[in-house]
């Protein structure tokens, strides 16, 4: 008797978990001093394959070129350099962590003089996800003021994390984050990352995690110590998506 065999491919329903902020680290630590031309940063402990890693370099100088010096075994993507504000240069790099660091990553900053490196890590719902840019980086220079507002962006995809950044040529403290649209902005890592080497510099960050596409709303932070300085700001969004949905055969 001839047998008929049926094969069913079943794609089980998986609810999308929330992207999570994981951890941050910097060199120097906030309010420290560092003068290395190629500063390295120790990644946070207990990272996992699939984490989104944002690596940011800042130098207190104008129009500086940045490049990855030690990859740490990762495949880095670079965003456009942040220039145009006096004595402020910065650049963001990002990667999907492959599960193993071969060394602490470092950034070449074309010379010494108040150099800072910061790492922020975000975790996808599982290791089965990867990351892509959702909204390209936008940067803006702001004149000297106490409160600096970063205009938001509109994400194209669901399940995004958006990072906003502020950079200034003074060791300012930053506080009073204002989520101007009530969309959920929070401080990323430490309140600020000050480097007191030479004539000083400072950076601060905020992030917003969305499960649906839409406008992030604007967000502001205030320079609460050492005056009102001109600031270079940037904003960029990433989204994660599943790459290997399991198939079950019956």
Report the predicted TM-score, pTM, of the whole model to 2 decimal places: 0.91
Q: For the segment 38-89, what is each residue's pLDDT rounded down to a tens digit?
A: 999 999 999 999 999 999 999 999 999 999 999 999 999 999 999 999 999 9
- Contact (CB, 8 A) for 207 and 54: no
Q: For the segment 187-231, what is each residue's pLDDT rounded down to a tens digit?
A: 999 999 999 998 899 999 999 999 999 999 999 999 999 879 999
Which of 209, 212, 227, 236 shows the shortest CA–CA distance to 94?
236
Which of 54, 28, 60 shows the shortest CA–CA distance to 41?
28
- Contact (CB, 8 A) for 123 and 66: no
From residue 33, alpha-carbon distances to 29, 110, 113 in Å are 8, 18, 10
Could you state, in order of their start, the residue ranges of all structural domains in the chain? 18-243
Whole-number Å distance between alpha carbons of 53 and 120: 6
Is the pLDDT confidence value at 134 over 80? yes
Whole-number Å distance between alpha carbons of 47 and 20: 12
Whole-number Å distance between alpha carbons of 105 and 76: 10
């Amino acid at each position: 008797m001839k047998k008929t065999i049926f094969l069913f491919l079943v794609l089980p329903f998986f609810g999308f978990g929330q992207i999570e902020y994981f951890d941050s680290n910097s060199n120097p630590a906030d309010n420290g001093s560092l003068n290395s031309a190629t500063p390295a940063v120790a990644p946070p402990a207990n990272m996992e394959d699939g984490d989104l890693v944002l690596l940011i370099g800042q130098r207190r100088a104008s129009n500086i070129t940045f490049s990855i010096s030690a990859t740490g075994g990762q495949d880095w993507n670079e965003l456009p350099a942040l220039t145009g504000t006096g004595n402020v240069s910065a650049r963001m790099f990002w990667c999907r962590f492959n599960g193993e660091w071969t060394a602490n990553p470092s950034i070449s900053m074309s010379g010494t003089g108040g150099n800072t490196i910061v790492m922020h890590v975000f975790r996808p719902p599982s290791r089965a996800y990867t990351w892509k840019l959702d909204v390209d980086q936008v940067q803006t220079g702001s004149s000297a003021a106490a409160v600096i507002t970063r205009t938001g962006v509109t994400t194209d995809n669901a399940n995004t994390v958006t990072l906003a950044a502020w950079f200034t040529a003074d060791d300012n403290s930053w506080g009073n984050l204002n989520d101007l649209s009530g969309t959920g902005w929070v401080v990323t890592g430490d309140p600020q990352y000050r480097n007191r080497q030479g004539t000083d510099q400072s950076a601060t960050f905020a992030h917003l995690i969305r499960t649906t596409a839409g406008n992030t709303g604007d967000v502001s932070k205030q320079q609460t110590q050492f005056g009102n300085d001109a600031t270079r700001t940037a904003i960029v969004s990433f989204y994660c998506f599943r790459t290997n949905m399991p198939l079950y055969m019956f």
